[in-house]
Amino acid sequence: MLTDIFTIIQKEMKEILLQRGSRRAGMLNMLLMVGVFGIFIPLQSASMWFDSPLFPIMWSWMPVFMTTWLVADAVAGERERHTLETLLASRLSDRAIYLGKLGAAVLYGFGMALTNLLVAAVTVNLIRFSADGLRFYPLDLFLALLVFTVLACGLLAGAGVLISLRAATARQAYQRLSIVLLALWLPLILGMQFLPASWKEALSRLFAGASASGILLIVSLVLLAIDAALVAAGLARFKRARLVIE
């Protein structure tokens, strides 16, 4: 089964790089993300990049959100291009196809985030080389950020594939996924603006004593539970007979 999952991952990654037939477009898209999130933004905040965990946390995995088109295309795009029937007619099991598509999305998003982290570290060191030598992220923060990124990619991929299963076209799936992401983020952003001052002070005191890596790991545990639920729902929903009928 692992071989079958890897086969689907290879297929999906080739399609990502080719971007519907244009390898140059796929490579330019990735280079643009690295240029913006791995070079340009770190240059703007170079003096604080290694001192404040907020910058690498906020910007390194931002390109993950730009992979929404990938998960939206996972099933709906195949259906739209009339390639879903061919895929379902293969000897590959439903579980292998689903996990392969999920794994490709996670791998792509995590790979982009890791690339941005490393390129940003090189960029900041090149322009701010000091007598203290080369600098890097604190090891605990770096490892926690990697775990968090994998699980964040899993959340996006799991939700995206479920939405793609019910969408007629990739555009429709992308729009629905964008609405879901907006519904998740807006309450967090706006909620902080309208919290009573006493609540904000209590939250500040709570997080003041915690390290950034500790907070990331706590959030990661929550994401792990959500990811597990999404994968279970996806496995239950991804059934060859139902997809052919639909």
**10-66 per-position pLDDT tens digit:** 888 887 776 554 566 667 777 888 888 888 888 887 777 887 777 787 776 676 776
Q: What is the mean pLDDT of the chain?
A: 80
CB 45 within 8 A of CB 127: no
Q: Which among 112, 115, 106, 121 is positioned nearest to 55, based on CA atoms?
A: 121
pTM score, whole prediction: 0.82
Give the gyration radius of the chain's Cα atoms: 20
Of residues 95 and 190, more confidently modeled = 95
Give residue-wise pLDDT tens across range 109-141. Answer: 898 889 989 998 888 888 776 556 788 888 888
Query: How many Cβ atoms sit within 10 Å of the Cβ of residue 154?
Result: 23
DSSP 40: I
The set of residues, in sequence order, having a beta carbon less than 8 Å from that of 230 and lying 6+ positions away, is 154, 155, 158, 159, 162
The conformation of residue 81, written as its DSSP 8-state character, comes to T
How far is it, in rounded angstroms, from Cα 177 to Cα 163? 7
Nearest in space to 214 (alpha carbons), one of 150, 152, 138, 122 = 138
pLDDT band at residue 210 under the 50/70/90 scheme: low
